[in-house]
Structures are given as structure tokens and as C-alpha cells.
Amino acid sequence: MTATEQQTGSADETYQPDPRRWRALSVTLVAGFMTLLDVSIVSVALPSMREALDASASGVQWVVSGYALTFGLVLVPAGRLGDAFGRRRIFLVALAAFVLTSAAAGAAPNAEWLVAARLLQGVAAGFLAPQNSALIQQLFRGPERGKAFGLFGATVGLSTAIGPVVGGLLIGLFGEDLGWRAIFFVNVPIGVVALVLAARLLPKGRPTGTSTDIDVVGTVLLGLGAVLVLLPLVQAESGGLRSLWFLFLLGAATLAAFAWWERRVVARGREPVFDVRLLTQTRGYAAGVSVGTVYFIGFSGIWLVFALFFQTGLGWTALHSGLSVMPFAIGAAGSAAVAGRLVSRYGRLLTVIGLSVVSAGLITTALLVAFVPPDVLTWAVLPALFLAGLGGGFVISPNITLTLRDVPVRMAGAAGGGLQTTQRFGAALGSAVLPGLFYVVLGSTGGDYPRAAGIALGVAVLGALGALVIAVPDWLRDRRSDDGTRTPAEHGHADLH
């Protein structure tokens, strides 16, 4: 047994490989793909929804922002509940709720119904997401875990990037009136099949030694802090950053109170909703969370910039717009699966390489968008976006593996929820700032769409470069560890047990 395996607690010492673990993983990845796809798939359908339901621009925007808000709000508490009461149980309930709310959204008779369904759908998705990473922690060990996280990372990257393509295809197939409804209804048959298979394949029970004590005060403080921070971001398009800026200050104060409370809970020997010692005593966790957050600021915002530029600026169809960014999705899906097999050997170096490559690809794309004529742009950006996608695949899946590799299995849900929550914060920030910058440049240049898109994409590169600045020192620490120079204090989370 390796040192890392010794550190993950008693659950690892009695580990016996589940013969159904790979089939179980495939089911959880399908469910995870649906929930993440629904973050970006609706962006191309907003004009259709607005016309069909006679909704206001700010009202229909909540179809996107409401889902993002409730999704990010429940991730950490959902992970803790999975740790406490069994990930299979929470997964099945959340998946059933996701199917029902998807059907409700597809059948919406008016905008108010649709927004309410999307808010509930986001809650269901938020309860599903941390169970995915926690089940990988529970079902896999050693190099197999890296491979599993590689597939998980490929799912994250592909689902986010391919959303506009799938949305465009469904609208093209079913038309403007029914296409947006099909975006939600398609989840129903897939979700029902996944639910049946999950009930058969997912392991029952919960990790040994996990307390069922729920930290109610910590859950409330975290939820309130998340709402205060996310609300101005998800309302950015309707002026939220200007009118609700003070909520950032209140949110920061609330999250500081949350951190104080969690330390108090730990000092009393109780189980916190999120053990803040993960950030200070678990090797790689704080660096991985930081890398994921900063990277997602740029990664998530570029898709909205592309959609605005291609559809509004160049007049392309939703399908043409989606297909134009498909090379990124293809590159990311392929490289993420490969990276999962290499991460146990090369560690944080993969993230450093990936961030360097994705930066080069996005800088090239920004220059092409700004200066290449629109009639050849689709083909001109293809190799640059594919290169960026290759780099992106070497970022997401290795970072997930490296962030969670030393987390005790009994805490895997809460730790995975924490990682995904900060990524949601980064995604919300990028989705607010980059389109906002696009419109600012557009107004100042008298409607120069190529320049506006090029500058916005160029700024998105700062997210990848910022993540690179964080990743390099962590890689150097890993190299010192490989040379045998790690000090006992750097071994991380032994005190968490």
C-alpha cells in the first residue's frame, strides 16, 4: 500500500474492487453529462424561448442564471449528505428529481413556470454532481482512479463545450417553436434509463466511520454566502454588478463567518459540512481548488462570447455557431481521457503543460477572430480551437485527480462539492465579465464585432495564465516530494481522521 493509500483512512484498508465499478461509472457519467450540458445548452435557445413564451429579456435570462445559482448553492451540502447517508441514495433521489424537473421545464406554459422548473432542476443537478466525484473516490484506487477521473474530466469538458452544438441541432431538427422544449425533454428517456441502471449498479451503504451528524448552522451560512456572491454575477446581464455590488461584501463576511464556525465545529469534535482543514492540511487540495476556480473564469465565459459574436455579429445560425466551436470539444474529450492515464505518473506537470497549450490556442483564436474575414473564419479557427481543446483536456481531469487524491474517502462528497462550488463561482464570474467586456468594447468601437470578440477572448487567456501561475509552484513542490525532500508537515491530512 502506498503512502497516499495509507492516508485515506480505514475505508481504503478494507478496499475490495467492485466488479461492476466501470459500469457504475458509465451510468454516473451519463447523469453528470446531462446536468453539465444543461448549463450551456440553453444559451442558443433563449431567443426561441423568449418569443414562444412572450417573456422579457431579463425574465428569460433566469432560465440560465437561475439554474447556475441553485446548482452552485447546494453542491457542498449535497456532498456532505452523500457522505453521511450514502451516495447511492442521494444520487437516485437527485436523478429522479432531475428527470421530473426536466419534463416540467419542457412542458412550461409560461416563463414563470419555466424559471421555477429550472431553479428546481438546478437543485437536483447540484445534488447529483458531488456524488459523481465521491463515487469515483469510493470505487477506484491507484492508477484506476486516475483513469476514472480522466473520463470524468472528459465528460466535464465535453458537456460544457458541446452544449451549443446539441442545442443548435435540436432547434434545427424540431424548429424554433418545439426545439427549445426538446432541449429539456431529451433528458427524460436518458434519465429514466440511467436511473434504472444506477439502482442496479451503484454500491449500497456509506463509507465506514462517517458521522450522520449534519452541521445545520454551517449549511445555512454557506448557502447564504453562496447566494450573496453568486446573485450579482448571475444577474450581470440585467445590471446586477452595478446595482448589487454590495452583496459581494456581505457574501465575503458571511463566508468568513462560515469558516470561523466550521473551525469551531471541528474543535468540538463534530462533523462540519465542509472541513476547512482540507484547504490547509490536505496535499494539493488548496492548489487544485485555486487552479480550477481561476481556469473556469476564462473557460466558461468564452462560449457566451462565441455565441454572441457568431450569432449576433455575423448572423450565423445556432447550429453553425455551435459547430464552429466543436473542435475544442473534440480536442478536450480526447486529451482528458489520455491525461487520466498519465496523471499518476506525471502529476501536476500535466496541468502546467495543459495550461500553456490552452493559452497558446486561445491567443491564436483571439487573433484570428479579430483579423480574419468572416467567410473563412470557421475553417481558420479550427486548428487553434482544437489545440486549445487539447490543452484544456490536460487541465480539468488531472486537476480533479490531483485535488482529490489525498482526500479521505469518508469526506469525498464534501471535498468534491467544495471543488465544484468554487468552479461554479469561477464560471459565474467569467460568464458575467467576458460578455460584459464584449459589449463595452462593441459600444466603444461603434459595433466592431471582430475586435470586441478578439479582445474578450484575449482577456479570457488571463484565466488560463493565472491558473498557470498557481500550478507551477505546486508542480515544483511535487518534484521536491519525488526527490524525497518533502517534510513531515507536507504530508497533509493525517489529523483529519
**What's the CA angle centered on 438, arms 437 and 442, to 5 degrees?**
115
Distance between CA atoms of residues 399 and 422, nearest Å = 13
Number of alpha helices (DSSP H) and beta strands (DSSP E) in the chain: 21, 0
Q: Does the pLDDT value for residue 491 go beyond 70?
A: no
pLDDT value, residue 192? 95
The three grid cell numbers given for residue 51, joined into one nine-digit string: 418569443
In percent, the amount of the chain with pLDDT more than 70 equals 89
The three grid cell numbers given for residue 195, joined into one nine-digit string: 436511473
Distance between CA atoms of residues 125 and 110, nearest Å = 22
* Residue given cell 526527490 in the structure block: 483
Residue from 303, 11, 24, 12 nearest 151 by CA: 24
* Range with the poorest average pLDDT among 82-86, 100-104, 428-432: 428-432
The 10s digit of each residue's pLDDT in 364-412 is 999 999 899 988 888 999 999 999 999 988 988 888 888 887 787 777 7
Distance between CA atoms of residues 8 and 495, nearest Å = 11
Distance between CA atoms of residues 438 and 450, nearest Å = 10
Confidence of residue 14 (pLDDT cuts 50, 70, 90): low
The 10s digit of each residue's pLDDT in 249-300 is 898 899 889 888 878 887 787 777 777 777 877 788 888 889 988 998 888 7
Name every residue whose Cβ is closer than 8 Å to that of residue 255 and which is 6 or more positions away in sequence: 221, 222, 225, 229
Mean pLDDT along residues 425-429: 79
pLDDT value, residue 99? 95
The DSSP line for 2-64 is: -HHHHHT-HHHHT----TTHHHHHHHHHHHHHHHHHHHHGGGGGHHHHHHHHT--HHHHHHHH
In percent, the amount of the chain with pLDDT more than 90 equals 23
Task: Let me know if 446 is exposed, middle or buried by CB neighbors in 10 A (0-12, 13-18, 19+).
Answer: exposed
pTM score over 0.75: yes
pLDDT value, residue 486? 45
Distance between CA atoms of residues 187 and 196, nearest Å = 14
Distance between CA atoms of residues 405 and 150, nearest Å = 13
pLDDT value, residue 482? 60
pLDDT value, residue 10? 40
pLDDT value, residue 238? 65
Q: Does the pLDDT value for residue 209 go beyond 70?
A: no
The 10s digit of each residue's pLDDT in 317-348 is 777 877 888 888 888 878 887 887 788 788 88
Indicate the SS3 state at residue 83.
helix
The three grid cell numbers given for residue 176, joined into one nine-digit string: 424554433
Mean pLDDT along residues 201-226: 74
**What's the CA angle centered on 358, arms 352 and 361, to 5 degrees?**
145
Within 241-296, strands assigned E span none
- Enter the DSSP assignment of 308: I
Comparing 129 with 210, the larger pLDDT belongs to 129
pLDDT value, residue 161? 67
Q: Does the pLDDT value for residue 8 go beyond 60?
A: no
Indicate the SS3 state at residue 373.
coil
Q: Does the pLDDT value for residue 191 go beyond 90?
A: yes
The three grid cell numbers given for residue 16, joined into one nine-digit string: 475490495
Q: Does the pLDDT value for residue 1 go beyond 60?
A: no
* H/E run at residue 170: helix 142-185
Contact 204, 88 (CB under 8 A): yes
pLDDT value, residue 159? 78
Q: Does the pLDDT value for residue 470 go beyond 70?
A: yes
Average pLDDT score over the chain: 82
